[in-house]
Structure 1
Amino acid sequence: MDDTEEQQQVMSEVHLGCPPGISGPHISRFTISLPSGVESSRFNELFKDEESCTDQDISFDEDGDLVLPRRPQSSRRCFTMKIQHNITSSIPSVGLQVWKAELVLSDFVLHKLCTSTEFDGIVSLELGAGTGLAGMLLANAAKTVFLTDHGNKILDNCVENVELNSGVFHSQAVVHVRELDWTQHWPPKASLGLSSQERYSWSSLELEEVQKASLLLAADVIYSDDLTDALFSILERLMSQGLEKVLYLALEKRYNFSLDDLDVVANGYLHFRSYLRADDDECEGLEHRPVPYFSGRRINIREIPQYVGEYDRGEDVELWQIRYIKGKR
């Protein structure tokens, strides 16, 4: 690990306005409300009329917790998620923060839950889950959700969030927090989990169940070429086994000045795109292209309403549907 990365502190735009000078974990309340025109009949027990959904400016409650501003509405149905997070972190520990792409992915999950039954009763795995927001929202419909990340500090924080929000999961949902190092062999060796060092290890039954996963989620995991290489390596191993899987990945393009290009470019994004082929590519010789490969389709997020508060999506957040094509169609 680069010492500079370990020492450098970064801050998500989502946490702007949080109390300054707080170095440890902080709890923010995210209000999830139904946008106009979206029916909630499937989740009547979840979305409720609450006075806490009234409009307000950026402020803090008596406990010092951030209360996010909301879009003006005369009446709405909502519920609240409590998320423990750090306000700043080192680059290797960015999973301790909430990032904009995670909110976009959460909006996508919520829209699917409210407008279809596609995610009902499924097994899902979230890669680089961080605080676990998107995967926990999925637990309103899914049978089993595996929230995975790397490092005890991030996993401990994710467990805390699962405990804070267990009341919003549907009664039969099971949520596991598990270690997943993308650079290591998959599947990992099954553990009995008898020692504290093994608390985030996989059992043999869990490894069997994750083979049945049809949905993968990931948010804001594209910021390092080495990490992107490791991501697609583990994706190939996960998506080539068991049931056919689809990945929904949200990312934020990050720009840096390049001496090679003498311009401000998003090289990390370009490296990510180099792994994908457009599934609707009409180029000559399509029927002879090599397999396997990753097929990518960009989803228009303007067609996805905002359920999670009123954050600014900006122009640089994208959502991708990615499939692993094993053979010729």
Structure 2
Amino acid sequence: MEEDSETQVMSEIHLGCPPATNGPFLSRFTFSLPLDPSSDHCISVDKDGDLLLPRRTSRPRSAQSFTVTIQHGITSTLPHVGLQVWKAQLVLSDFVLHTMSTSSQLNGIVCLELGAGTGLLGILLARVAKAVFLTDYGDQVLGNCVHNVEMNSTLFHPQAVVHVRELNWMSKWPILEDTHADCRDPQKYCWNSQDFELVKRARFLFAADVIYSDDLTIALFSMLKRVMSFGTDKVLYLGLEKRFNFSLDDLDVVANGYACFRSYIKEDGTGEQEDKSFVGRRIDVTQIPQYAKGYDRGEDVELWEIKYVH
């Protein structure tokens, strides 16, 4: 485990960045939204059932684009993977932007992200949300997240508030600042009683690229049981990448981390409950437009809608 903590890993999102720098690197992620998203999804037919094609106008339909600037590491050790942007975070961002473009479901919500890392997804959510809680673990990751939030605050809805808080899945939760004198240091990213009143009303949780270690996956679902039973019913939207590795035990290329994740999920509509506390539905990624430019989704990213059965 000590050796793993020193191993450097690199997200394929950062391929092409300088191989080494003396400090963090800035990347600009461009997102393009159609000015009239409904025109991409509505199909019209005449009284005979024949498809009606829209007339070509003299001016092509333009798109609304905006840029999010993210400070990140180019490589990191496993305990600090939150310093990088990973593929499933961009796919989940596409899903969130698509939801924003086609419905008002996320308008004015209170939401919480687990393993927020660089804060990219939370920055997008703050465009329509009332309150966003970005949670992760460790001062270095949390400090970088705060920097990114401040750097992109002009993109937020005028009434939106974004809180960066520490959440260690291995520890008890909630822990209020009133019970810990050292939590009065703002750099400790501690929770207060007002935070928890807001989180009680949160309807949505988000998480991306948090499935890669069985120990952390076990801790994640233990934490989810506490968070998702706190206040109103909550739905988790989770993006993950199935990572395949050769296993000496199996003598095959397997995705053991994914198998651990699936052991907690009863897929919606597939037989009995099997005593599992979480019911999940896979979202068809192919039906979500790619709003984030300049990355290859590949075929190993999945999105899930997950509910906790009390």
Q: TM-score, normalised by structure 1?
A: 0.83
Distance 1:152 1:134, change over 3 A: same
1:272 aligned to which of 261, 272, 297: 261
State the partner residue of 1:235. 224
Cα RMSD of the aligned pairs, angstroms, is 1.8
Which one-letter code corresponds to 1:315 in the other structure?
E
The count of residues paired between Structure 1 and Structure 2 equals 287
* SS class of match (2:147): helix
* SS class of match (1:233): helix
Structure 1, 259-268 or 90-99: larger mean CA deviation: 259-268
State the partner residue of 1:153. 140
Q: Does 1:321 align with 2:305?
A: yes
Which one-letter code corresponds to 1:91 in the other structure?
L
Alpha-carbon offset, residue 259 of structure 1: 1.8
State the partner residue of 2:251. 262
Q: 2:186, 2:156 → 1: CA distance?
A: 26
Contact 1:35–1:307, Cα closer than 8 Å, also in 2: no
Q: 2:123, 2:130 → 1: CA distance?
A: 12
2:67 aligned to which of 53, 62, 80: 80
State the partner residue of 1:48. none
State the partner residue of 1:4. 3
Q: Does 1:224 align with 2:213?
A: yes
Q: 1:290, 1:33 → 2: CA distance?
A: 42
Q: 1:272, 1:292 → 2: CA distance?
A: 12
Distance 1:173 1:237, change over 3 A: same
State the partner residue of 1:195. 185
Q: 1:238, 1:278 → 2: CA distance?
A: 21
2:286 aligned to which of 296, 302, 305: 302
Q: 1:39, 1:154 → 2: CA distance?
A: 38
Q: 1:173, 1:209 → 2: CA distance?
A: 13
Unpaired runs of at least 5, structure 2: 40-59
Alpha-carbon offset, residue 196 of structure 1: 4.7
Contact 1:127–1:148, Cα closer than 8 Å, also in 2: yes
2:242 aligned to which of 234, 241, 253: 253
Contact 1:23–1:86, Cα closer than 8 Å, also in 2: no
* SS class of match (1:260): coil
Residues 134-178 of structure 1 deviation map (CA, whole Å, 9 limit, x = unaligned): 111011111000000000000000000001100000000000000
State the partner residue of 2:18. 19
Contact 1:123–1:212, Cα closer than 8 Å, also in 2: yes
Alpha-carbon offset, residue 279 of structure 1: 2.0
Contact 1:107–1:306, Cα closer than 8 Å, also in 2: yes
State the partner residue of 2:53. none
Contact 2:117–2:141, Cα closer than 8 Å, also in 1: yes
Q: 1:185, 1:93 → 2: CA distance?
A: 22
Which one-letter code corresponds to 1:8 in the other structure?
T
Unpaired runs of at least 5, structure 1: 41-72
* SS class of match (2:243): coil
Contact 2:25–2:71, Cα closer than 8 Å, also in 1: yes
Q: 1:78, 1:96 → 2: CA distance?
A: 25
Which one-letter code corresponds to 2:21 in the other structure?
I
Contact 1:296–1:323, Cα closer than 8 Å, also in 2: yes
Alpha-carbon offset, residue 246 of structure 1: 0.3
* SS class of match (1:141): coil
Q: 1:307, 1:314 → 2: CA distance?
A: 15
Q: 1:197, 1:29 → 2: CA distance?
A: 26
State the partner residue of 1:244. 233
* SS class of match (1:213): coil
Residues 173-216 of structure 1 deviation map (CA, whole Å, 9 limit, x = unaligned): 00000000001111113347532553x00011111111111000
Q: 2:67, 2:74 → 1: CA distance?
A: 20
Which one-letter code corresponds to 2:224 in the other structure?
L
Alpha-carbon offset, residue 280 of structure 1: 1.2
State the partner residue of 1:50. none
Alpha-carbon offset, residue 19 of structure 1: 1.7
Give % identity. Answer: 61
Alpha-carbon offset, residue 77 of structure 1: 2.0
Residues 282-320 of structure 1 deviation map (CA, whole Å, 9 limit, x = unaligned): x3xx3xx46661001110011000111131000101100
Contact 2:139–2:187, Cα closer than 8 Å, also in 1: no
Q: TM-score, normalised by structure 2?
A: 0.88
Q: 1:39, 1:133 → 2: CA distance?
A: 25
Q: 1:98, 1:24 → 2: CA distance?
A: 16
